[in-house]
């Protein structure tokens, strides 16, 4: 085949492809259903298919001012652990779960100056020393059994009534 013949055949092939492409585009533009999604069919096909979105990855931005470190008071962290042992040892999730007749229900704060001695404050002023002793003994029995480092529990109320428990009381249980 001559070079001129090859060129003619190539040109006819390209022209045929272009005519076919234009015909499809004209047909698609004039036909209301050709190459169109059926909304009902698409909804049925996608029913139950979870839509998963890509997680945004945060990009760190440099800070010109240093971020201060959170300072944790080890004595307070220890006191928090003792109170969690009290709750867990009595199958409670909050102090509100305790009976309202007990000072346990009214615990409002706690702390420690150093590991070993726990201070608890209860709200209300109708408490007797024996009731606050009972709270201290409960803490010694539950948290003290788990933590031999708990040596003493001091309980006080709004009216300065106090209670106390220590390792010597623990032997009474």
As a whole number of angstroms, the distance between CA 40 and CA 24 comes to: 25
Q: If pLDDT is split at 50, 70 and 90, which confidence band does 173 have?
A: very low
Q: Does the residue 62 lie in any domain?
A: no
HSE toward the beta carbon, residue 63, CA cutoff 13 A: 5
Do 154 and 116 belong to one domain? yes
Q: What is the residue range of 89's domain?
A: 74-170
- Structural domain contains residue 64: no
What average pLDDT score do residues 117-127 get?
A: 92
Q: In what order do the strands lie in the sheet with 117-122?
A: 107-111, 117-122, 152-157, 162-166
* 68-87 pLDDT, tens digit each: 666 778 899 999 999 999 99
Read off the pLDDT of residues 41-55 as tens digits, 9 standing for 90 and up.
667 766 766 555 555
Render pLDDT for 24-40 as a digit per residue (tens, 0 to 9): 888 777 876 665 666 77
> Do 92 and 135 share a domain, yes or no?
yes
Tell me what percent of the residues of the chain surpass a pLDDT of 70. Answer: 76
Judge if 152 and 107 occupy the same domain: yes
> What is the average pLDDT value for the chain, to the nearest integer?
82
- Average pLDDT (107-120) is 92
Residue 58 is assigned to a structural domain of this protein: no
Question: Domain check: are 163 and 106 in the same one?
Answer: yes
Number of domains in the chain: 2
- Residues 169 and 56: their CA atoms lie apart, in Å, by 57
55 within some domain? no
- Confidence label for 60 from pLDDT (cuts 50, 70 and 90): low
pLDDT reported for residue 96:
93
Same domain? 81 vs 159: yes
Q: Are the C-beta atoms of 122 and 154 separated by less than 8 Å? A: no
pTM: 0.58
**Minimum mean pLDDT among 3-12, 43-52, 123-132: which range?**
43-52
Burial-class residue 166 by CB neighbours within 10 Å (0-12, 13-18, 19+).
middle
Q: Is residue 28 domain-shared with residue 92, that is, in the same domain?
A: no
For residues 82 and 29, state if they share a domain: no
Has residue 90 been placed in a domain? yes
pLDDT of residue 115: 84
The answer on 118 and 33 residing in a single domain is no
Residue 69 covered by a domain = no
Q: Please indicate, yes or no, if residue 125 is contained in any of the structural domains.
A: yes
Residues 102 and 142 both lie in one domain: yes
């Amino acid at each position: 085949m001559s070079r001129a013949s090859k060129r003619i055949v190539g040109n006819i092939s390209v022209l045929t492809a272009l005519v076919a492409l234009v015909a499809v585009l004209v047909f698609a533009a004039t036909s209301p259903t050709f190459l169109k999604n059926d909304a009902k069919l698409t909804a049925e096909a996608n029913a139950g298919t979870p839509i998963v979105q890509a997680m945004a990855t945060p990009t760190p931005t440099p800070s010109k001012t240093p971020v201060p470190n959170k300072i944790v008071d080890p004595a307070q962290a220890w006191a928090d652990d003792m109170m969690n042992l009290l709750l867990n040892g009595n199958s409670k999730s909050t102090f509100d779960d305790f009976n309202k007749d007990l000072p346990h229900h009214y615990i409002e704060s706690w702390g420690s100056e150093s590991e070993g001695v726990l201070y608890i404050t209860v709200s209300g002023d109708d408490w007797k020393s024996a009731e606050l002793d009972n709270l201290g003994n409960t803490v010694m029995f539950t948290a003290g059994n788990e933590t031999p480092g708990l040596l003493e529990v001091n309980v006080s109320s709004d009216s300065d009534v106090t209670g106390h428990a220590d390792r010597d009381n623990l032997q009474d249980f």
